[in-house]
Chain A
Amino acid sequence: MTTSTSPGASSSRGERTPLVSAVVRFAGDSGDGMQLTGSQFAHEVAWAGNDLATLPTFPAEIRAPAGTLYGVSSFQIQFGSVRVLTPGDRLDALVAMNPAALKVHLGDLEPGGLLIVNRNAFDQRNLARAGYRDNPLEDPALAERYRLHAIEVSRLTHEAVAGLGLGHKDAERCKNFFCLGLVSWVYGRPIEPTIEWLQRRFAREPALLEANRRALLAGHAFAETAEIFGEAYRVEPAVLPPGTYRRISGNQALALGLVTAAVRAGRPLLYGSYPITPASDILHEMARHRNFGVRPFQAEDEIAAMGAAIGAAFGGAIGVCGTSGPGLALKAEGLGLAVMAELPVVVIDVQRGGPSTGLPTRTEQADLLQALYGRNSEAPLIVLAPATPGECFQMAYEAVRLALKYMVPAILLSDGYLANGSEPWRIPDPEELPPIEVQQPPAAAAGRFAPYARDERTLARPWAVPGMPGLEHRIGGLEKEHISGNVSYDPDNHDLMVRLREEKVRRAAAEIPPLEVQGEDAGQLLVVGWGSTYGAIRVAVERVRARGRAVSAVHLRYLNPLPPDLGPLLGRFRRVLVPEINRGQLRRVLRAEFGCDAVGFHRVRGMPLAVGEIEQAIEALLDGEAGA
């Protein structure tokens, strides 16, 4: 048993109905502060000791015109007293700040779910912008289908902040905190952490601090006293492994993993990047940590960022660059150079919807083949993928570790969901991470230094860097002669070098921990996933298993090289299902590598896969199997 030391509900009147978990979505105009509201609610939830997963969704436009459907921004959170692995498929509660938000999101609300709307925003103009001819709040069907609470959020907020001398606009801006107070009361989540946050955020703007605090308290009190909420809920703390926790997003975790790797390796780290959604926040985070030896470099384009990372690696620093799919395309030639020069660089690809500019703010898993094969000629490198936001930390660290140990480039595939999603994260002890080994060159040898002489075990070449006397040498993109590193056009040497570069990556498989199989390790059906679909697949498999049906699952974090025990595992199952947010990229790899006749499940909607749809795919396969 574990317990949380943080307080649970801050106030409750009468009995609260216990819930195991809940899914809540805040939706409104881009300017309504929904991301902040959701993020603060997540903060409260984490403080109360719940497990949680979040899904922020925002428009690609920075300031989309107010009231439009495409300008709607939302933040979804699932929290619970049990392990929470996904932000949830369907909503238990929806907060809609305007007609557009209602129109876009109502379809996801469970029948009978809690629906809170800002009645004041349902004026003629907003209704027209959202394409409503009649006010949906006046349609009795709405209140019949959902537990509708149409509250005058704007008016009540203005009343709460009256007398503080705020202009109309500033007063109106506080309405998201009114809603936060309200929802916090409904679910019995503590508002103290939000008040503390406000105190820090507005330390130098006392009027705004007071206004937001009053709005928060007003919403909270409104829910409590107006008694319009017949029910109030409580969610017990989750049973999490003991430790100190914080809430972390994938991008944050990734940046911290890089910084930790730099500190452990005792080398400066160059982080080169050209701004691109959803990877920019990694650059922002890295740029703050100058005192850890991070050297941020906002390059003129992704090619230059790649080049700078290669130059840094050549110079003995850790060379990292971060981007999204279109940027990875631009880095292809540079990655080929890093493969040829056998330099340790790490490229982060926070995948987003594509092709081309695609869906910049939405998630996708469709860069796997680009990462594995998207370069001219035979250019193998290491490809890793974290499964959860928190795991971005370990996998970023692992990417640096493997790149340095094997003197090879590594690509880390995150995605928009992992990047912006967040979860409770048990803060690791850096000392417990595996040490980072560097390929030290020999002391200046009497003869000519051989830059392509290899370590017998790893096949890594020595990391001799400018500044080291006696080891002067030249490398480059032209084929290298084995050992001497001289330019060589010899046919057999080229064949040998192609094989050596491949073998080196293959040997990194020795670093991969044994696969953890959910369920039996042989049987009818194995579900194989990679990346951010981890949570959805795991829950879906759990549910099908709970119904007594035999299905197992395994999740891949190492995509090149593949885990050595994957082939045998696949062979022990009759069918293999691969759910992915693409058109079957891992499935193709499994077919090619293992001749495995895997079946795919694909939804490419810019959204995480839903648990329900994976469940259905599993059931359908099992049913088909039973009939066969």
Chain B
Amino acid sequence: MSTAATPAASGGLSKKDFASDQEVRWCPGCGDYAILSAVQRVLPELGIPREKIVFISGIGCSSRFPYYMNTYGFHTIHGRAPAIATGLKLANPELTVFVVTGDGDGLSIGGNHLMHVLRRNVDLTILLFNNRIYGLTKGQYSPTSEQGKVTKSTPYGSIDRPLDPVRVALGAGASFVARTIDRNLPHLQETLRRAVAHRGTSFVEIYQNCNIYNDGAFAPLTDKETREAAVVELVHGRPLVFGRPGERRALRLRGLVPEVVPYAEGSTSGAEGGGADGGLWVHDEHDRRLALLLAELEPPAMPVPMGVLLDLEAPEFIAAHMEQERRVTQTQGPGDLERLLRGPETWTVRES
């Protein structure tokens, strides 16, 4: 996997061609830097001319993203980026459009638009930076903050139950759902490549550390000692295996109930041998029902799945819209303004 800022084969652009002349203003140490860097590295590989790439964002620390990309960009209003991006794609279906949003922007104020853009399957890539906090407004709890969280607005702990972006996306009928994390650059880049390659709405949740207001929210997933046991990396066609060397574990489904079993390298069945329930849980990213079960995996009992949970081929909104336009134009002929204005019935008043 290429991580160097070298010109890609097609387009001849490099990472720095995608950096704008604006000074990046996130807090030092913010996870947003790593995401920006990953995006700027992946874009040159795609061979898409810069002028055809657009970043649309809402409001939040994360949503400052477009200012730092030397492409077209639009920093819009809180929560509405999916709607604006949909309008943009309808105006010009040839564009490659990214939506950058946060856990507050995308799931609180903009939850409705997120649900509907996923349902329509508009050809966009949505990057949801989940830091489980409202960064820009200086640290209130968000819809993804864990219950009991003490923040400025919840001095006695939050009583809201959090929601999980991935389950929201699956529930809304998303055709591509992935999860990745700011600290794992190769995984982040690979996930981005997969997301852009998907036709339809690609929903990518990116765990992002806000070192000012919610530092260490994902530490167990990134710390050397804990991460191997805490994360299961999804690989299509491969069993769900995790854990430190020597303590490898795998997941198995007993009916609809997942369970952790010891794993011997190379095996496709439980270490204790093929019981009545058959073998290990093998990841199939084309199976929506399995994706739903994956999304239910939660620490501490279960590892957190990272990678592409779902990648389905599904009818895409913009293409269907344009196809309808083409079909109507074909059957009715190109619009005849004079005929339209006349309508079905006319009468004439003459000069006499």
> Taking beta carbons and an 8 Å cutoff, which residues of A are in contact with B?
1-6, 43, 46-47, 49, 193, 237, 240-248, 256, 259-260, 263, 268, 270, 272, 289-293, 295, 297, 299-301, 303-317, 319, 333-334, 336-337, 341, 427-428, 430, 448, 465-478, 486-487
Contact = CB atoms under 8 A, between A and B. Distances in A.
Q: Which of A307, A309, A337 has the most CB of B within 10 A?
A: A307
Given A3-B352, A272-B87, A311-B90, 17 more contacts: A3-B350, A4-B348, A243-B349, A244-B346, A246-B345, A247-B345, A291-B329, A291-B334, A297-B90, A303-B113, A304-B80, A304-B112, A311-B84, A313-B87, A334-B77, A465-B91, A467-B92
B342 A292 contact: no
A300 B317 CA distance: 14
Contacts of A300: 83, 112-113, 115-116
Q: Which of A237, A270, A300, A472 has the most CB of B within 10 A?
A: A472
Given A4-B347, A243-B348, A295-B321, A311 B340 contact: no
B56 interface: yes
Interface stretch (B63-71, B247-255, B280-288): B63-71
B348 A292 contact: no
Contacts of B54: 466
A237 B350 CA distance: 12
B342 A474 contact: no
Interface residues of B, number: 64
A361 B80 CA distance: 30
Contacts of B52: 466-467
Contacts of A478: 75
A310 B87 contact: yes
B51 A308 contact: no
Contacts of B137: none
A464 to B, nearest CB: 9
B82 to A, nearest CB: 8
A476 B87 contact: no
B21 interface: yes
Closest 7 pairs (CB-CB, A-B) = A311-B87, A476-B75, A315-B91, A307-B83, A308-B87, A292-B335, A317-B91
B88 interface: yes
B231 interface: no
A474 B74 contact: yes
A263 B90 contact: no
B168 to A, nearest CB: 15
Contacts of B76: 307, 310, 337, 476-477
Interface in B42-94: 49-54, 56, 59, 66-67, 69-77, 80-92, 94
B329 A290 contact: yes
B150 to A, nearest CB: 31
B253 to A, nearest CB: 36
A203 B63 CA distance: 57
Contacts of B92: 315-317, 465-467
B67 A270 contact: no
B154 interface: no
A466 B340 contact: no
Contacts of A306: 83
B95 interface: yes
B95 A467 contact: yes
Chain A interface, >50% SS class: mixed
A204 to B, nearest CB: 17
Q: Which of B74, B92, B328, B340 has the most CB of A within 10 A?
A: B74
A273 to B, nearest CB: 12
Contacts of A241: 349
A46 B90 CA distance: 40
B49 A469 contact: yes
A244 B347 contact: yes
B73 A291 contact: no
Q: Which of B51, B52, B76, B83 has the most CB of A within 10 A?
A: B83
Given A270-B91, A310-B87, A469-B51, A293 B335 contact: yes
A167 to B, nearest CB: 30
A4 B51 contact: no
A292 B95 contact: no
A430 B337 CA distance: 8
A308 B86 contact: yes
B341 A337 contact: no
A428 B338 CA distance: 9
A306 B84 CA distance: 8
B351 interface: yes
A248 B342 CA distance: 10
A253 to B, nearest CB: 10
A472 B56 contact: no
B75 A290 contact: no
A43 B345 contact: yes
14 contacts: A4-B347, A237-B349, A242-B349, A245-B346, A246-B345, A256-B340, A291-B328, A297-B90, A303-B80, A304-B112, A311-B56, A313-B87, A473-B73, A475-B74
B350 A2 contact: yes
Q: Which of A4, A466, A486 has the most CB of B within 10 A?
A: A466
Contacts of B350: 2-3, 5, 242
B322 to A, nearest CB: 9
Nearest to B333: A291
Nearest to B96: A466
B348 A5 contact: yes
Nearest to A318: B91
B87 A312 contact: yes
B50 to A, nearest CB: 6
Nearest to A340: B77
Contacts of B335: 259, 263, 289, 291-293
Nearest to B79: A303
A304 B91 contact: no
